[in-house]
Copies of this chain bind each other. A is one copy, B any other.
């Protein structure tokens, strides 16, 4: 029993923090929001240098051969400073490809970051919905996955359909997700520059989140020989990664709020001495600690207890998503009027919270899956 970071993990985290501290990510986020999208630094070279693109690819294929928890540590550091590093899209994509021998040749380029992949969010069936689904462009009803007919001998197929709000799709070389091929779900990889592929960048509220709607019209795709567990695992991995990123943002929100609550006085006392402020901040801490504990659970379960990974990853997402929501609102209210001004950092965390709770199936989708997993256990 040991739920502490190894020395290597401590180092990975400190290195990430150090690397990202050299970039003015928050200023860039604000300028980009103001229309200057060139303000956002391209952090992919930084990620390559740090070896992050290959985190989940084994050493034989040029990666670091690390595990989900290590990736979550890096995402946490990105979340702390709202750094726009396209790992939320890249890493789950590499997790699928690493399980597909057919495309093993492609892995070294992804591991080195010479090529970048983006995961097409594809939600596996739940206990009450037997379909695989994609995030819808709008509305509550989930979309069917793109479909294709029977593939040829090389596993090539033409796909039609769409995936909405795909993280990090703009600029990605390869798109990796699940499609319904000849009536069955299968992993697919699509080159972004292939005919019939449209990657339409969309920006919603938080300029640091790179998103696109991906539309396929008879687009050439390769069917992957990754097992269905791997396809489902990528979805849950994406939940764990966005959870880690959110928890990183909560940490910063709490630190900044606590610092201000110690300094700012009202009615002759520091505001942090009032129960209303103190208890709100303690509540942020409570949610933060719960979220951290679940990140450990998810990080451990992916290999340590794969049957529990869906439960672990989605409970982490559920708690982390709500924690970020609460922390961002508390950050604004602790700061009073100033926390709602353009020049302050609190609104940037608020925007991140608002958007990320609605990506990748949404925080509430994760709660629904947690319930489903537990109900299935209870019925067994």
Q: Which residue of B lies closest to A279 (CB)?
A: B276
Shortest Cβ distance from residue A77 to the other chain B in the assembled complex, whole angstroms: 35
Copies of this chain in its oligomeric complex: 2
Say yes or no: is A11 at the interface (Cβ < 8 Å to chain B): no
Alpha-carbon gap, A274 to B275, bound state (A): 7
Interface residue count on the A side (C-beta < 8 Å): 4
The majority secondary structure among interface residues of chain A is helix
Alpha-carbon gap, A256 to B274, bound state (A): 25
For A276, list chain B residues within 8 Å (CB). Answer: 275-276, 279
- Binary contact readout A211-252 vs B (1 if CB under 8 angstroms, 0 otherwise): 000000000000000000000000000000000000000000
Alpha-carbon gap, A156 to B274, bound state (A): 69
For A274, list chain B residues within 8 Å (CB). Answer: 275
Q: Which residue of B lies closest to A277 (CB)?
A: B275
Shortest Cβ distance from residue A375 to the other chain B in the assembled complex, whole angstroms: 14
Alpha-carbon gap, A89 to B233, bound state (A): 55
**Which residues 268-308 in A have Cβ within 8 Å of B in the complex?**
274-276, 279
Alpha-carbon gap, A279 to B280, bound state (A): 13
Alpha-carbon gap, A276 to B276, bound state (A): 7
Q: Which residue of B lies closest to A275 (CB)?
A: B275
Alpha-carbon gap, A279 to B274, bound state (A): 12
- Binary contact readout A250-274 vs B (1 if CB under 8 angstroms, 0 otherwise): 0000000000000000000000001
Shortest Cβ distance from residue A343 to the other chain B in the assembled complex, whole angstroms: 29
Shortest Cβ distance from residue A146 to the other chain B in the assembled complex, whole angstroms: 31
Shortest Cβ distance from residue A278 to the other chain B in the assembled complex, whole angstroms: 9
Q: Which residue of B lies closest to A274 (CB)?
A: B275
Shortest Cβ distance from residue A272 to the other chain B in the assembled complex, whole angstroms: 12
For A275, list chain B residues within 8 Å (CB). Answer: 274-276, 279
A-B contact pairs, 6 of them (CB 8 A): A274-B275, A275-B275, A275-B276, A275-B279, A276-B276, A276-B279
